[in-house]
A and B are shown apart, each in its own frame.
Chain A
Amino acid sequence: MLVASLLVLRRSARLRMDTQANWSEDALSLPPGEDALFLGLGSRIFAPEDYDFVARQTSRQFHRRFRAERTALALAWLDQVRGGVGGLIRAHLRAARGNPSLRPADEIKLGFEFLVFRLMIGLLYGAVWLRGPFAAARLVGSCVDLAEELKRMSVEGLPVAGSMAAEIMNGDSEAK
């Protein structure tokens, strides 16, 4: 706990000199259409069309090299998004700390959302690092589809369970 406290104090000094906050301050002031976090670039990096084209038209060795370089690009993009959003939050905190009408509940909610975002991007980073951007997207997609299927099955199962319970209760009352 002591070591953590010392590290946390040191980090607060480093955060003050973080130049990415300036970048995100610009992001806060941009008109709605502008993409200061280069988010639009990601759809091109993860698009399977290039991968399929290379797989069809080139040798296995070239294909493997393409995948490695596209993985590096995807990881760099995820880093950039992570850093950009981190800078956005830091800019918010710097503005909020001096604002007397700060609401602790809103700050805690925002902090939680940011934590979930960091967790999400961390998991994606791990999946991309392990499997590459295209396989990671397929893996994540399969997990989401499986979860949706399970949810659908549990919801569909409820009316059946309800009618069975009703039958059992009716049977009991007739027996009495």
Chain B
Amino acid sequence: MEGLDVIVSGGKALSAFPSIHGKIPGIRKRLRMFSTTLWLTALALESVLLLRAFLGNFLKHYRFFYLYLGCVFIRDMSLLPVYYLWPKFYPYAYWYSQFFHVAVGCGVVWEAYKLALSRYPGAARMARNVLSLIFIFSISRILVNVWNNPNWIPGRSFLEPERDLRIVQLTLLIGLVALFAYYAIPLGRNLKGIIYGFSIFIGTSVIQLTLRVYLGDSFEHLWEYLQPMAYLLVLVIWCITLWSYATVPEPEMEPNLEVDYESLVRATRKQLSSARTYLSRTIGTRLCIFFCF
């Protein structure tokens, strides 16, 4: 299950609350049952989402999202027996498959960009430029980390590589959301739910992984249960917003669309400049000296 990971320390897998592991077997059994319940609930919600989309015939509208969800579902199903029968191999199986999911997750961000901005070529052009810059900066940061930190290589440590890749996803998502808000792009219920849920999931993953890197095992014991519960919340949000297909709203008839872009920018800057000049004259100072450029 996304987030229900097990600590790897020196190659050995540790369960939650190791200090009471041998002392109170009853508590350990109850915690294990709670983990299993969370896992099975997540599997159930994932299958409901996939089935609903299949029966409603709207899988094709959100291909990458459902591909991502399908991959997570298949992995969770296959890792369940590994977790209980071969716990030594679980961490490796989890972490190596996790990188594949991070890559597919980037596809979800791309799909959100494509669906929301397909009818707004101007905003799409802005998004391509801004997101490219964000991507270049984020990848540069990772390359610097790789250069400076010998532990960054997957295999030696899984936490930092996944955290850094999730940060790239999160910054791209935040950039995209900021653009949607800036240009007042209408999203529709489905797309909003995908973005809200994915943002919560990526955000909590970044927080978890960062705190785990800095605080160590003491934090992991708490987060081993908080993260799966956060993932369940995300699944509930997706179930509500993706219960039925809702089209992305059509753009309204834009005023001044026939005006070319140059004239539009010139007119807006002129109005802004005259507002600034009037303000200066009104206050009776040469305030524009500071703010004119």
Contacts and interface: CB of A to CB of B under 8 A. Distances in A.
B264 A98 contact: no
Counting contact residues on chain A (CB < 8 A from B), the size range is: 35 or more
Nearest to A41: B282
Interface string A83-118: 011001111111111111111101100110110110
A95 B125 CA distance: 14
Contacts of B203: 1-2
Contacts of B278: 37, 39-40, 42-43
Q: Say whether chain A's binding surface is mostly helix, strand, loop, or mixed.
A: helix
Interface in B238-281: 251-252, 254-257, 259-261, 264-265, 267-269, 271-272, 274-276, 278-279, 281
A100 B121 contact: yes
Contact of A2 (B181, B200, B287): B200
A50 interface: no
Nearest to A111: B182
Nearest to B264: A95
A107 B182 CA distance: 11
A81 B280 CA distance: 13
Interface stretch (B77-85, B170-178, B208-216): B170-178
A65 to B, nearest CB: 23
Q: Say whether chain B's binding surface is mostly helix, strand, loop, or mixed.
A: helix
Given A98-B254, A113-B269, A104 B121 contact: no
A1 B256 CA distance: 35
Interface in B157-191: 170, 173-174, 177-178, 180-187
Contacts of B123: 96-98, 102
Nearest to A106: B265
Contacts of A46: 282-284
Interface string B219-252: 0000000000000000000000000000000011
Contacts of A114: 272
A117 B184 CA distance: 21
B14 to A, nearest CB: 29
B268 A144 contact: no
B269 A117 contact: no
Contacts of A85: 271-272, 275
B289 interface: yes
Contacts of B257: 95, 98-99
A9 B187 contact: yes
A36 B45 CA distance: 54
A137 B283 contact: yes
A45 B274 CA distance: 18
List 9 A-B pairs, minimum CB-CB distance, nearest first: A102-B122, A42-B282, A39-B278, A100-B121, A8-B181, A97-B123, A12-B181, A2-B203, A15-B184
Interface of A: 1-2, 5-6, 8-9, 11-13, 15-16, 25, 27-29, 37, 39-40, 42-43, 45-46, 81, 84-85, 88-104, 106-107, 110-111, 113-114, 116-117, 120-121, 124, 136-137, 140-141, 144, 147-148
